[in-house]
Amino acid sequence: MNIRVLPEEVLLARLPVYQYRAWSRAWALALRELFQLPHPSDEGLSSFALLTGTPLESVGRARASAHGLEDLLRELASEWERRARDGDDRCRISMLPGGIVGVEIPVDEAGLRQWLLRYKQKESALDRFITEDIQLLCQLQIAMDHARSQESVLITGETGTGKGALAEAIHAMSGRKTLCPINCTAIAASLIESELFGHLKGSFTGASRDREGLIAAAENGTLFLDEVGDLAPEVQPKLLRVLREREYRRVGETEVRRTHARFIAATNANLLESVTQGLFRADLLQRLSACHIELPPLRDRPDDICLIAERVLKDEGHSGLTTEPVRTLMTRYDWPGNVAELVDAMRYAAVASRGAPIRISHLPDAVVQEAYPPTGTASQILLTAQVLNNSDIPKDHDTFPESLDAVLGEHLKSPPPIANNEEVDELVGAFVQLAFMLPGSAVLLTQAALDGALAQLRTVSLLSELRQHLSTSHFSSDIISTLDARLRVELEDVKGPPLVGMGIQVLMQLLGSDDPDDRSKLLEWALKFKKVVPMIVHLVQAIRQNTETPKPVAVNAMAVQPPRPVSFAQLQGTRDWLDPRNRPVVERAVRAAKGVKRTAGALLKINSSSYIARVIRAHGLQDLCDELTRARRAESGARTRSGGAPRKEKQVSVDVKPNDVAKGEKQDAAEEK
Ligand SMILES: Nc1ncnc2c1ncn2[C@@H]1O[C@H](COP(=O)(O)OP(=O)(O)OP(=O)(O)O)[C@@H](O)[C@H]1O
């Protein structure tokens, strides 16, 4: 339904208007559209209401407003009837083609202004309430019907559903004088009585002068008792008396006073339950709820969410919600804080988006995290991976975030299956890559990656990687500190034999810590970092190569193959040979070598038997070494048997004993320190 009321300036500009022939009783008609038009005539200005005969459809918030217009039309019609009875033939009600009916009543300018003002008051009071929910519309209608009466109104509903706003609207429509609000929770029980009823000087310690209470202040106005469920039990009988007898006494005074205030109370508590528990008087509840309005929570009227959100955004000077995924996400969220929370979230999004269309990443974290299933579950990781793998979304900086939003929105409609650990690991890699690709817009993904990474020990390096990335991109400091905290916890849990290496350095670099305590802690952690050192080394290399702009680097050693040394020569002097992926290179070298120790010693330039022991173990080369030793022994034995000069056997250190390893590692650690 459309309602248009021309602006006052136009109304008063006396523009020409139509001529009419037939008439009908305006208030008997169902309204569809109404205009007020000025009608200049010889006798002066006429007000003109134009309506269609189409039945009123009970949709939209307009219904509540229409109620106000119906009143106005009724007034116009009865005014017309009265004047027609008085023989004023300038009053006309006309039927236009298409069932349009006009009511034309001559009024002077002051009269027109008065009508307009009254209409505007009615219109604007409930205009704040945006809803297409039939239940809420009915409640607003009750509010409107009872606005002008004397009876008390009780507004109930969850926090943020608009109880305070409705109390104000009822007061505005009531035509009463002042609105005096009091929050029954915020005022101490000892003070509330004097606050409400007033007191006499000296009636209690601190009462240094006479004071009128709020009931007196709200004379001929409205007293709004917010959070009435918290009203102190000792005050309840006194308030009951006011409601019953309209009488009260100031504290310390015997004189009985009368009040003509109207009472509106609101609460998010279940007062019936409070009555059962003996916290609230049943008779007071009954008096307060002469008219009871229950505001439904936002989650029960999902269609309102986007309507209200758009209105808030527009009020903030934003163009409004634009993408479907954002709408989907917002309707998935429960909005425990109801409209108040929605209003705050939209104000936040309006700022975060800087005028651009609202995307998922512009919404507050709480909304996103709640609406998407909790990150860190395998299913969530898998979900996003499916999205990444199966969709044709372009992964460029400009369009990717929106298209990802769209695809995620689509996937959210069906719950994803559970992933196994390997999938998780792969997917985490994908996540992190995304985070690299989308600086400033992948908070959701990054958090998922973080949680996914936590699911597996061997992805500890991913955490470091993420940390590095986050610090160079636009993520909020909150996310970074969350990540730091989790990284620390995760590192604490890393088990395994100690290992010296670049881990210490790398971790310090990644965590950027100058604190000596932190450093020694890091050292401890790094010493445990057997498994991930190769990855960290790679990471550092990558970071060094990309100091200016962090590019998408291969972050998950399992999911994405980083550039690796391909020849034995490239392994020289490095510890990359511990990386399992280098096994073929190492194996080739060992096979080609005359002795394992010599080969390793010569090529890797590491004078530590334990280190060699580790490479053998890391690559599962024990069998190969045994085989080589046997072959060499056989060869030298054959040479001796054939009478050749016995050659001095080179020691091939393949029989690695556990003690050797431990000893060597300790030695390595000492050297490294
Ligand atoms: N249907 C609605 N359309 C638009 N805005 C609304 C609607 N309902 C509530 N609001 C707005 O939501 C905000 C919160 O409303 P209000 O403070 O009245 O809620 P409340 O129920 O009194 O909250 P509390 O229980 O926390 O006191 C206000 O800005 C109000 O104008």
Beta bridge partners of 38: 47
Q: What is the pLDDT of residue 602?
A: 38
Does residue 161 have its Cβ closer than 6 Å to ligand 1?
Answer: yes
Residue pair 578/621 in contact by the 8 Å Cβ criterion? no
Does residue 268 have its Cβ closer than 6 Å to ligand 1?
Answer: yes
Q: Which residue minimizes the CA distance to atom 5 of ligand 1? A: 129
The rounded Å distance from CA 163 to ligand 1 centre is 6
pLDDT digits (tens, 9 = 90+) for 41-99: 444 444 444 443 333 232 222 333 334 445 555 565 566 566 666 766 655 555 444 44
Handedness of CA 459, 465, 469, 475 (dihedral sign): positive
Q: What is the pLDDT of residue 329?
A: 76
Could you list the mean pLDDT of each consecutive 10-residue stretch along the chain, which spans 673 residues? 35 32 27 39 44 31 38 58 65 48 54 54 71 78 83 95 94 89 83 88 79 91 94 91 92 90 95 91 93 94 91 88 75 90 93 79 71 42 46 46 50 41 46 46 45 37 48 50 56 36 40 51 46 40 37 29 44 55 62 48 40 58 62 59 44 41 52 48
- φ/ψ of 33, rounded to 5, equals -135, 145
Cβ neighbours of 463 (radius 10 Å): 24
Closest CA to 108 of 35, 197, 39, 62: 39
- φ/ψ of 267, rounded to 5, equals -160, 150
Q: What is the pLDDT of residue 226?
A: 95
Q: What is the pLDDT of residue 126?
A: 79
| Cα–Cα distance measured from residue 60 to residue 131, given in angstroms and rounded to the nearest whole number | 6
Of ligand 1's atoms, which has the minimum distance to the CA of residue 167? Answer: 18
| Domains of the chain, first to last | 2-127 (no CATH), 134-296 (3.40.50.300), 302-473 (1.10.8.60), 568-672 (no CATH)
Does residue 446 have its Cβ closer than 6 Å to ligand 1?
Answer: no
End-to-end alpha carbon distance in the chain: 79
Q: What is the pLDDT of residue 413?
A: 47
The rounded Å distance from CA 342 to ligand 1 centre is 10
Does the complex come out with an ipTM higher than 0.95?
yes
Which 3 state secondary structure label does DSSP give 291? strand
